[in-house]
Structures are given as structure tokens and as C-alpha cells.
Structure 1
Amino acid sequence: MANQTLFPTSVIGSMPRPDFVKALISDTCTLSQAERDRLMGNAIYASVALQETAGVDVVSDGEWWRKSYIGVIAELAHGFEVSTNPQDGRPWTIVVDKLSPRQPGFIANEVAFLKKLTGRDIKATLPAPALLGERMWDPERSSKAYPDRDDFVRDCVPILRREVELLRDEGVSIVQVDDPHLCLFVDSNIRAAYDDADRAADFAVDMNNQVFAGIDGVKKAVHLCRRAGARARGEADHRGTFDPIMGQLCRLEVDHLTMEFVTPGSGEMSVFEQLPEHIEVGLGCVSCHPGTIDSVDTIVERVEQALKYLQPERITLNPDCGFAPGSAATVSLDEVYTKLCNEVEAARRLREKYG
């Protein structure tokens, strides 16, 4: 990072969307696109102000421009049908045709706008290729274009890779690939559902590496979570230590890994000893679960557990996951502000003690 601060603080990416922000990105919004963009820009200004007031070192735009956090792929490529999932009413993006570039630079434009609002380090996020395959390939509706799910995943790689190049050129500090799919392989029940769980996890790693291959001049990160935030929507609670996927994590050709450790059942932080020494760890040390506010002392204790296995220079403080677990979740911005303030105060104490 530009400032080389010890124990830098960060968000994962998403911030809670107030109802008026959800209204602005809704298909039912009757405002002109120009008026939507103006109002959304004002909203993002407030999101950044919240993060800066809390004192966060690495900020995001909260991913508020996006109708769907991972559905942003449909802005980058033709070939998708965007509709509403009949089961839960959330945005549903399904691949129905061969992919082709649509508007490269959509995410880079998010960063270009954000740079006008802040002088702090900026993080931009992209969905992982294998995650897109898991969520956006349907055996019936996608099979005409892609009979094999993996072929769809492979075709996502050049689309995402081009965006990484444009983000690098835009001057973003960190490009983060979000890959909760890879982290699901910590769960024995998930592993049992695959004929070869290790092969599937290896494929996810290979696709991430191809997205980043040969790109220099930007910090490359992968975010791993077992969908901690999904519990805010009452969804499955995936548990398991990181041990089953440590072989895969060591093969990721990245500079930075964010890993959940607030979630019960995450296992021992001793797994950090297995990671290559050049990899920084974005330590999940702040709960993103609504209604749970970790004290400063608790956050410090979690980081000090990690310090048994990592040098201070390799640790970034961040929440376990994004603060907005899906487009339908309701999360308090004021509560998130308190959590970020506690994260920043914990970092201050750690710098004082270990700097």
C-alpha cells in the first residue's frame, strides 16, 4: 500500500445499501439514467465519508453502482439474461449465449469516480470465475451455449482479466477477486457432493491465477469466505477449518489473502505458517453479522493470535466478509460505522504496541 502503515485497516468491499440506494438501482426506478448517476454519486460520497470518518486506510465505493455484487459480469460481457429469481426475488443472472465483451472498464469507471472523492488507498472487487460458474450456469438454460460449465468459466477469464488490466491502469491500489466458492471446500458436506473436490478446488485456483497472470503494478488479492454474511439472510452456515484447502491456497499467485477467523469453526491460525512468506493476510477479525459488535479488546486479541504465526508487516485488519451480504439484506450503516471505528482503534493500539 502507498502509505506502508503497520496494521492497515480495510473493508472487504461491500457496504450496506440504504433503501434509497436500492431504489436507485431498481428496475422500477423512473428517474433518468443521468439523474440516477448523479444521486448515486452523492450516495457514494456519503459511504466514503463514513469510512474515512471511522479512519479506515483502504476504502471502497461499497459496490453501490452494481445491481448485483457478482452480477456485475453482465455489465462486462454480452451473453447473460438478467431477471429475478422466482424463489427469493433477488437479481438472477444466467448465461444463455456465448460471451463477448460488452463494456470493458465498467468497474474501472467505478474507481475513476471514487478517486475523485478520496486520497486514500482504494480496493476494487471482481467475482471469481469459478464462482460465476457456480452461480450463473444453469443446466437447462445455459447448455445450448455452454454444455460444459467449465467452458463457461474459462470464457469468463479474459473478460475479467481485461478489467484487471484497466483497473491497474486506472491506478487502483488493490484488485480483489472474491471467491467464496473456493472456500466452500472447507466444508466436509460440500466436499462430499463432488466426485473430486480437490480437482474442483484446483480448477478454481487455476482460473484465478489466469485472471492475474502477468499483470504487475497492482496488489493482487483473493477474498476467501464461507459466506459468513449469508447468515444475515438465514442461509446455510458452512463450517470447517482451512486445512483441506491449504494446498490450493499456497498455489494462488497473489500478494494478499483475506481469510475469515471470526466465524465459529474456522480452525487454528497456525495454518498461516503454511502460506508463502510473501503473502499478506487480510485477517478477518471483525464480525460482519448484524447485531454483533466486537469490542476493541476482542479485535486486538484476535490479531495477537495471528501474530504468533505472522510478522506484523503481513497483517491487515478487516471484517470477516462484506458488510452487505446480498442485495436483499438489511444492515445498519450506523452499526457498521461503530464496527469500523473499533477496527481502527484496535489497529492504533497494535501500532503503538508493536511499531
Structure 2
Amino acid sequence: MSFKHNPPFRAEHIGSLLRPDYLLEARKKFDQKELTYEQLRELEDKAIEEAVRMQREVGIKTLTDGEYRFYDGFFDHLEGFEVVYDPPLDIFKLYVPDIRAFVVKNTKPANTVLCTGKIKHVKSGYLPQLEALKALVRPEEVRNIKLTLAAPEWFHLRHGEHAFRPGVYANRDEYFDDIAVAYRRELDILYAAGLRNVQIDDPLLSYFCAESMLTGMKEAGEDSDALLDRYIQLYSDCLASRPDDMTIGLHLCRGNFRHSIHFSEGGYDAIAVKLFNEINVDCYYLEYDTERAGTFEPLRHLPKHKSVVLGLVTSKFPELEDRQVLKQRVLEAASVIASGSRETVEEALQRINVSPQCGFASHEEGNLLGMDDMWKKLSLVKDLAASVWSDA
């Protein structure tokens, strides 16, 4: 299946923004039951309104709420999933890079989410976020809203056979089938409410580029190629009925934990053919700010009907990149794409957009830079787009 549309704007951002101190403090008070939900919501709305204003001011037209709702999203609203606090380490797959990072630091995740009953979509966790953001933007800007959705295989890679309780599902295919049904329902609800731009965050797919995980899977008797194929099938099932005018983007990075930590390394070469040709999304948001993401060569496999958002500007540190150097990298990527698709460099450029490599606050604390640094980074993204494309 091919799709005819691209991401709407040359200068994008990935979604999460640094949270203002007053919002972080409010969340702590809420967790300690010193603040009501209504009071927290009021402060969230204030922060989101400020974030929307700043996005407009720096020239980023794709509008997000900065993910200031603290990850209130998909799995935690599905019937059949439960939060498990202080989970035993033996239910985790230790070859997964972020899990391995916890173990190396002699710790483990404080909680996780497991399937303990039949999965059923009973309410949308994203719809309230969309409606709240719609209320803060002008009517003509609603089409510019982008929401970030969870990767459908998130808990399975981390837990494997422990992702669902024995007896609930006979095998992982049954488990995936019900996740796909729920995912399709979620997209239907969001589309009906006016959402036209979806970004799926999936660092797990880039883990399949990491030799450390591939080696660990082999030692554990797990077929990494077969599992990747199954996850691709899950994506196909999740997106099978999505409307043709809903743009779906897929974001890959190598982990952005608190204080600018990453979890894995490795270029896209190992998964490029399947990633670009077998997952039915329209565009790919790809980390490309450091050497750990490899070269642009895998972009030779990008089909003509798809586009790429190059994450050239780091969201981890405050130092500003050289715009001219970034421009040359965009042109280099266009040349690689053109070599694979047999089009001109100018034509390939029309399928490229630019962004930071990831969000600025994939976890609550955010990365090692300040608010002013973040807005300078986003301004740089906009200036870079203007220097490459005169219509940006």
C-alpha cells in the first residue's frame, strides 16, 4: 500500500518539551496528594498554552502539548492491563538495552505494565489530550496538531512470554491481535475528533540495530529476525484501517533517559529494507545527531512515496550546531536518497524534513539543557529549514 502525503511542515519537533519547574513541582505535590487533580490540570493547561505560544513564536507550525500530561496514554487505559510495582527482575528480558542499563547500575524499573486479562479498548487516553489542545489553538491550527502514540510492541520486547499472564492468551499472536484491535479503535476515535497527524514513538525498533541486543537474543534462543518480522506484522494490523488522509510517522531513537543518557548504538543498516518498505507509515523521524546512528546510506532504501525527518539537531545538550554544517548534511542525505530512488537530488529534497533528534524531555526530568537552550534549538531547526527550502 502506498500513501500520497508527507509530514505537513519542513521544520518539525518530536513532541516532548522541557517541563517548567512549577509543573514539575505541581506533579510532585499531586503524587503526594497535596494537590487535587483539578489544580494539577489547571497548571498543565497553563504550561501547554505557554508551549503553544512559544512554538508559534519560533516558527514551528506542528503543534504539540509538549507531552505535559505526563504520559497519560494508551496501555494504561486498556482493560486487561495492570501496573505492577516492584516487579521481579526475572520477568524482564535482560538483552533489551534499557533494561540492561538498569541492571548495570544495580537497579531495576520501579514498575511496569503487564497484561492480566483479555485486552479491550474501553476509553481513549489520548482523546482528552487532543480536546484540551484543540481548545488552546485557533480553529485553523487544529490540522497542525500532532499527537505522540505508544509503540504497540512496547511491553512485549521488554517481557516476552511474561508480557501476558499464562492462561489469558494461548500465544503471542492472540495477544498481538487484541492489541491491534485496540490500536485501530484508538485511531478511529482520534480521527473522528479531528486528528490528522500521528507520531508513533518506537526506540525498540532501533534496538534491533544494536549488536549487544542481537547477541543477547541469540544467546537466549530468540530469533531476532523472526521477532522483528512479527512486530512489523503487528504494525500492519494496527494501521490496517487508518484513514488515507491521516499522516502516520514513526520515530526511532536510541533511548533518551534522564540527564541525556542513551541506551544503544548502531546504524539503521540492519533494518533499513524492512523498516522503509514493510511498515505502512508515511514518514520516519530518525535520530541522526551523532555517529551512534550511523551513516545516511540506509536511506537508499526509502521508497519514493515516503519521506524522512532528519533528527540532526541534538536535544541532549545546549551547544548549538553550525547551521551550514547541518545544511550540508541535509544535502548529503538527499544525494543518498536520490541514488537509491533514481530521482534528482532536488526531487529527493522534497521528501526531507528536519527536526531535533528526539524530544527534550522523554523522561520527566528532561535533558541537560535549559528552557532558553531548547527554544534556541527549535529556532535553529526552523532556520535550517528556511536555508534549505525557500518555502519553509
TM-score by length of 1: 0.87
Between the aligned partners of 1:213 and 1:20, the Cα distance in structure 2 is 41
Deviation at 1:85, TM superposition (A): 7.5
Partner SS state of residue 106, structure 1? coil
Alignment partner, residue 325 of structure 1: 362
Alignment partner, residue 92 of structure 2: none
Equivalent residues of 2:20, 2:47 under 8 A apart: no
The alignment yields a C-alpha RMSD, in angstroms, of 3.0
Deviation at 1:133, TM superposition (A): 1.7
Between the aligned partners of 1:131 and 1:290, the Cα distance in structure 2 is 27
Please tell me whether residue 189 in structure 1 is matched to residue 212 in structure 2: yes
Please tell me whether residue 134 in structure 1 is matched to residue 157 in structure 2: yes
Please tell me whether residue 98 in structure 1 is matched to residue 117 in structure 2: yes
Query: Structure 1 counterpart of 2:65, which letter?
Result: D
Please tell me whether residue 24 in structure 1 is matched to residue 51 in structure 2: no
Percent of residue pairs bearing the same amino acid type: 25
Deviation at 1:135, TM superposition (A): 4.0
Please tell me whether residue 41 in structure 1 is matched to residue 67 in structure 2: no
Alignment partner, residue 113 of structure 1: 132
Between the aligned partners of 1:340 and 1:134, the Cα distance in structure 2 is 32
Please tell me whether residue 256 in structure 1 is matched to residue 293 in structure 2: no
Query: Structure 2 counterpart of 1:17, which letter?
Result: R
Deviation at 1:136, TM superposition (A): 6.4
Match of 1:342 among 368, 380, 387: 380
> Structure 1 95/140 Cα, relative in aligned 2: closer, same or farther at 3 Å?
closer
Alignment partner, residue 293 of structure 2: 266
> Structure 1 251/5 Cα, relative in aligned 2: closer, same or farther at 3 Å?
closer
Query: Structure 2 counterpart of 1:218, which letter?
Result: M
Alignment partner, residue 306 of structure 2: 279
Deviation at 1:297, TM superposition (A): 2.2
Match of 2:54 among 39, 50, 61: 50
> Structure 1 151/4 Cα, relative in aligned 2: closer, same or farther at 3 Å?
closer
Give a deviation string over 1:302-348, Cα, whole Å, max 9, x none: 21222212522211211111211322445522211010001101111
Please tell me whether residue 232 in structure 1 is matched to residue 262 in structure 2: no
Alignment partner, residue 220 of structure 1: 248
Q: Unaligned 5+ residue runs, structure 2?
A: 89-101, 339-347
Deviation at 1:153, TM superposition (A): 4.2
Partner SS state of residue 17, structure 2? coil
Provide the aligned length of Structure 1 versus Structure 2: 348
Deviation at 1:193, TM superposition (A): 1.8
Give a deviation string over 1:25-61, Cα, whole Å, max 9, x none: 4422422222222221111111112221111121211
Equivalent residues of 2:289, 2:313 under 8 A apart: yes
> Structure 1 165/74 Cα, relative in aligned 2: closer, same or farther at 3 Å?
same
Give a deviation string over 1:229-282, Cα, whole Å, max 9, x none: 23735453x121211101221101111111111131322213222121111111
> Structure 1 329/142 Cα, relative in aligned 2: closer, same or farther at 3 Å?
farther
Query: Structure 2 counterpart of 1:242, which letter?
Result: Y
Deviation at 1:62, TM superposition (A): 1.2
Deviation at 1:299, TM superposition (A): 2.6
Please tell me whether residue 242 in structure 1 is matched to residue 280 in structure 2: no
Equivalent residues of 1:97, 1:145 under 8 A apart: yes
Between the aligned partners of 1:168 and 1:5, the Cα distance in structure 2 is 16
TM-score by length of 2: 0.79
Between the aligned partners of 1:210 and 1:97, the Cα distance in structure 2 is 22
Query: Structure 2 counterpart of 1:169, which letter?
Result: A
Between the aligned partners of 2:134 and 2:84, the Cα distance in structure 1 is 29
Give a deviation string over 1:139-170, Cα, whole Å, max 9, x none: 39945646856654443222222111112122
Deviation at 1:122, TM superposition (A): 1.4
Between the aligned partners of 1:111 and 1:333, the Cα distance in structure 2 is 24
